[in-house]
Structure 1
Amino acid sequence: MRILLCNDDGYFAPGIEHLAHVLADVAEITVVAPERDRSGASNSLTLDRPLSLKRAANGFYHVNGTPTDCVHLAVTGMLDGLPDMVVSGINMGANMGDDTIYSGTVAAATEGFLLGIPSLAISLCGTPGEYFASAARVARELVEMLRRQALREPVLLNVNVPDIPYAQLRGTVVTRLGKRHKAEPVVRTLSPRNETVFWVGAAGAAADAGEGTDFHAVRNHLVSVTPLQVDLTHNAQLPLLRGWLAR
Structure 2
Amino acid sequence: MENGRENKPSVMVTNDDGIDAPGLRSLVRVLDSSNLFNVLVCAPDSEKSAVSHSVSWQRALSVKKVDISGATAFAVSGTPADSTSIGLSKMLFPFVPDLVVSGINMGSNCGYHIVYSGTVAGARQAFFHGVPSVSLSYEWVRGKSKVDDFVLAAEACMPIITAILAEIKNNTYPQSCFLNIDVPADVANHQGYRLTKQGKSVYKMGWRQVTSEAQGGKMLSTMTMDSSAGKEACVEESTLSTQQEHLLFKREVREAPVDDDDGDYFFLQQGYITVTPLGALSPPPMDDVEFFKGWLPGVHERISSSS
Settle same-fold status: TM greater than 0.5. yes
Partner of 1:217: 267
Q: Give yes or no for contact 1:178–1:206 (8 Å, CA) kept in 2.
A: no
Q: CA deviation at 1:163?
A: 1.8
Partner of 2:15: 7
| Structure 1, gaps ≥5 residues long | none
Aligned counterpart for 1:39 among listed residues 44, 49, 59: 49
**Aligned Cα root-mean-square deviation (Å):** 2.0
Q: Which consecutive aligned stretches of 4+ in structure 1 deviate over 6 angstroms post-superposition?
A: none
Q: CA deviation at 1:148?
A: 2.2
Query: Does residue 72 of structure 2 align to residue 56 of structure 1?
Result: no
Q: Give yes or no for contact 1:92–1:127 (8 Å, CA) kept in 2.
A: no
Aligned counterpart for 1:227 among listed residues 262, 273, 277: 277
Partner of 1:68: 81
Partner of 1:113: 127
Identity in percent: 28
Q: Which has the larger radius of gyration?
A: 2
TM-score, L = length of structure 1: 0.91
TM-score, L = length of structure 2: 0.74
Q: Give yes or no for contact 1:33–1:61 (8 Å, CA) kept in 2.
A: yes
Relative to structure 2, which stretch is displaced further, 147-156 or 212-221? Answer: 147-156
Partner of 1:163: 185
Q: How many residues align?
A: 244
Q: Give yes or no for contact 1:90–1:132 (8 Å, CA) kept in 2.
A: yes
Q: CA deviation at 1:62?
A: 0.4
- SS across alignment from 2:206: coil
AA aligned to 2:207 is V
Deviations 1:175-204 (A, max 9, x none): 112223562221111228x64201123274
Query: Does residue 150 of structure 2 align to residue 132 of structure 1?
Result: yes
> Compared with structure 1, are the counterparts of its residues 98 and 165 closer, same or farther at alpha carbon in structure 2 (3 Å cutoff)?
closer
Partner of 1:197: 248
Partner of 1:188: 209
- SS across alignment from 1:71: helix
Q: Give yes or no for contact 2:11–2:37 (8 Å, CA) kept in 1.
A: yes
Q: CA deviation at 1:239?
A: 1.3
Q: CA deviation at 1:244?
A: 4.0
Aligned counterpart for 1:153 among listed residues 135, 159, 175: 175
Task: Output the CA distance in 2 between the equivalents of 1:82 and 1:242.
Answer: 44
Q: CA deviation at 1:152?
A: 4.2
Aligned counterpart for 1:243 among listed residues 284, 290, 297: 297
- SS across alignment from 1:100: helix
- SS across alignment from 1:144: helix
